[in-house]
């Protein structure tokens, strides 16, 4: 019995300490916070790789400055209650933003997306695009390919963020485009091998493009040029 009572007391003390550890002091919040990660549908995304930046500067006078890419700075007001920081515009707008302080980070959850803020800005960790492989035979393009990343102007976005699946089936220069498991377009004729790339006509992402350029890379990936976005869509073969 004494052992059970002792164990109960230890558990109660541990819970009490945990409760106290969760509460934040004003000093924990003051200063500059950077968006370091986005989490959605089981994915963790580095915003720096997508050219996104969001900064929160919490001031001692109860104001907070919000800075975001391509947006004008905004000033709002913040309060702290336990481990929750509430941000409000203070202009009669009932809409507020709640941030939870834990493990020296701030977390915001909105519509299934969690934004994590830290004290240091995130650094881009874009995957390096391998050098081009000049194909000697059109059959080198054959197979099933799954889109993984859109890369443009130094930024990369995982295809999973678009909430769709994009695939290609290529056979002897003929191309089928597969969106969410359904064939949405296909080439009207086999393409040609031009300077080691496959040049073929097919509608892609809803746009009928003449002479799509499909390129192989030395790491076994494939890319399709997207002229309207100034970038490429990267594909990999599914792992067997």
Q: Show the low-confidence residues of the chain (pLDDT under 70).
A: 1-23, 91-94, 206-209, 240
> By the 8 A CB rule, do 85 and 79 touch?
yes
* pLDDT value of residue 173: 96
- Residue ending a domain, choose from 118, 144, 162: 118
Nearest C-alpha neighbor of 103 from the set 16, 11, 21, 15? 21
Domain assignment of residue 175, yes or no: yes
Could you give the number of structural domains in the chain? 2
The CATH number that applies at residue 191 is: 2.40.128
Domain assignment of residue 2, yes or no: no
Whether 91 and 139 share a structural domain: no
The CATH number that applies at residue 110 is: 2.40.128.280
* pLDDT value of residue 99: 95
Whether 110 and 168 share a structural domain: no
Residue 28, φ and ψ in degrees, nearest 5 = -70, -25
pLDDT in tens, 84-105: 999 998 766 667 899 999 999 9
- CA dihedral sign of residues 161, 165, 171, 175: negative
Nearest C-alpha neighbor of 33 from the set 53, 47, 15, 50? 53
Range of the domain at 148: 132-236
Nearest C-alpha neighbor of 218 from the set 125, 134, 127, 126? 134
Domain assignment of residue 7, yes or no: no
Whether 114 and 182 share a structural domain: no
* pLDDT value of residue 14: 34
Q: What is the 3-state secondary structure (H, E, C) of the chain?
A: CHHHHHHHHHHHHHHHHHHHHHCCCHHHHCEEEEEEEEEECCEEECHHHHCCCEEEEECCCCEEEEEECCCCCEEEEEEEECCEEEEECCCCCCCEEEEEEECCEEEEEECCEEEEEECCCCCCCCCCCCCEECCCCHHHHCEEEEEEEEEECCEEEEHHHHCCCEEEEEECCEEEEEECCEEEEECCCCCEEECCEEEEEEEECCEEEEEEEEEEECCCCEEEEEHHHCEEEEEECCCC
């Amino acid at each position: 019995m004494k052992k059970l009572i002792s164990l109960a007391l230890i558990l109660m003390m541990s819970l009490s300490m945990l409760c106290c550890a969760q509460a934040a002091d004003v000093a924990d919040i003051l200063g500059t916070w950077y968006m370091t990660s986005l989490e959605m549908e089981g994915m963790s995304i580095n915003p720096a790789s997508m050219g996104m930046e969001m900064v929160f500067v919490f001031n001692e006078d109860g104001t907070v400055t919000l800075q975001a890419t391509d947006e004008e700075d905004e000033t709002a007001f913040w309060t702290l209650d336990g481990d929750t920081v509430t941000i409000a515009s203070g202009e009669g707008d009932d809409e507020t933003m709640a941030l939870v302080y834990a493990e020296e980070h701030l977390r915001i959850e909105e519509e299934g997306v969690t934004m994590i803020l830290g004290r240091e800005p995130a650094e881009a960790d874009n995957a390096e695009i391998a050098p081009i492989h000049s194909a000697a035979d059109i059959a080198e393009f054959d197979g099933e390919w799954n889109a993984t990343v859109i890369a443009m102007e130094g930024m990369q976005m995982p295809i999973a963020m678009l909430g769709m699946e994009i695939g290609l089936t290529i056979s002897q220069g003929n191309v089928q485009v597969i969106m969410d498991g359904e064939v949405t377009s296909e080439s009207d004729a086999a393409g040609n091998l031009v300077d080691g790339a496959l040049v073929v006509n097919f509608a892609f992402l809803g746009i009928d493009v003449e002479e799509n350029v499909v390129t192989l890379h030395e790491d076994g990936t494939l890319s399709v040029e997207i002229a309207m976005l100034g970038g490429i869509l990267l594909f990999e073969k599914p792992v067997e």
